[in-house]
Amino acid sequence: MLVIDRNEVSELLSLEACIGIMENALKDLSAGQAEQQLRSVVPVRQGGLMGLMPAYLARQEVVGAKLISVFPRNHDRGLPSHQGVVALFDAGTGALNAIVDGRRLTAIRTAAVSAAATKLLAKPDSRTLALIGSGEQARSHLEAMLLVKPIERVRIWSPSRAHALRFQSEIAAKYGDSLAAQLCDSAEQAVADADVICTVTSSTTPVLQDEWIPDGAHINAVGACRAPDRELSSAIVRRARLYVDRRQSAVHEAGDYLIPLQEGVIGSGHIVGEIGEALLGQVEGRTSDEQLTLFKSLGLAVEDLAAATYVYEQAKQLGKGTSIAI
Burial class (CB in 10 A: 0-12, 13-18, 19+), 10: middle
Indicate the pairing of strand 34-36 with strand 2-4.
unpaired
Report yes or no: 112 and 16 within 8 Å, Cβ to Cβ.
no
Instruction: Show Cβ contacts of residue 6 under 8 Å, excluding neighbours closer than 6 positions.
Output: 101, 103, 104
pLDDT bucket at 135, cuts 50 / 70 / 90: confident
Overall domain count for the chain: 2
Cα angle for residues 40, 44, 45 (degrees, 5° grid):
155
Does residue 139 sit in the same domain as residue 197? yes
pLDDT, tens digit, 9 for 90 and up, residues 23-70? 999 999 999 999 999 999 898 987 788 999 999 999 999 999 999 998
Are residues 33 and 159 both part of a single domain? no
Name which of 85, 86, 82, 37 is nearest 64 in CA terms. Answer: 86
Q: Do 193 and 279 fall within a single domain?
A: yes
Q: Which domain holds residue 119?
A: 114-300
**Is 123's pLDDT higher than 90?**
yes
Between residues 204 and 216, the one the model is more confident about: 216
pLDDT band at 77 (very low <50, low <70, confident <90, very high): confident
Which pLDDT value is given to residue 264? 97
CA dihedral 74, 76, 79, 80 (to 10 degrees): 60
The verdict on 71 and 21 lying in the same domain is: yes
Q: What is the pLDDT of residue 224?
A: 83
SS3 303: helix
Question: ∠ CA(97), CA(276), CA(291), 5° rounding?
Answer: 145
Strand 34-36 versus strand 48-57 pairing type:
antiparallel
Which residues, 6+ apart, have CB-to-CB distance to 101 below 8 Å?
4, 5, 6, 8, 9, 85, 86
Q: Do 249 and 210 lie in a common domain?
A: yes
Confidence of residue 3 (pLDDT cuts 50, 70, 90): very high
Q: Is the pLDDT of residue 71 over 90?
A: no
Arithmetic mean of pLDDT, 169-198: 96
User: Once rounded to an integer, what is the mean pLDDT over residues 252-276?
Assistant: 97
Region 116-134: what's the mean pLDDT? 97
Both 157 and 273 in a single domain? yes
| Confidence band, pLDDT 50/70/90 cuts, at residue 81 | confident
Does 188 lie in the same domain as 50? no
Asked if residue 312 and residue 276 are part of one domain, the reply reads no
Same domain, 172 and 140: yes
Q: How confident is the model at residue 106 (pLDDT cuts 50, 70, 90)?
A: very high
The secondary structure element, H or E, covering residue 137 is helix 136-148
* Residues 155 and 268 placed together within one structural domain of the fold: yes
Q: Could you give the CA distance from residue 237 to residue 297 in angstroms, rounded to a whole number?
A: 13
Amino acid at 225: C
CATH code for the domain of 247: 3.40.50.720
Average pLDDT over residues 250-260: 96
pLDDT at 273 over 90: yes
| Rg of the chain on CA atoms, in Å | 19
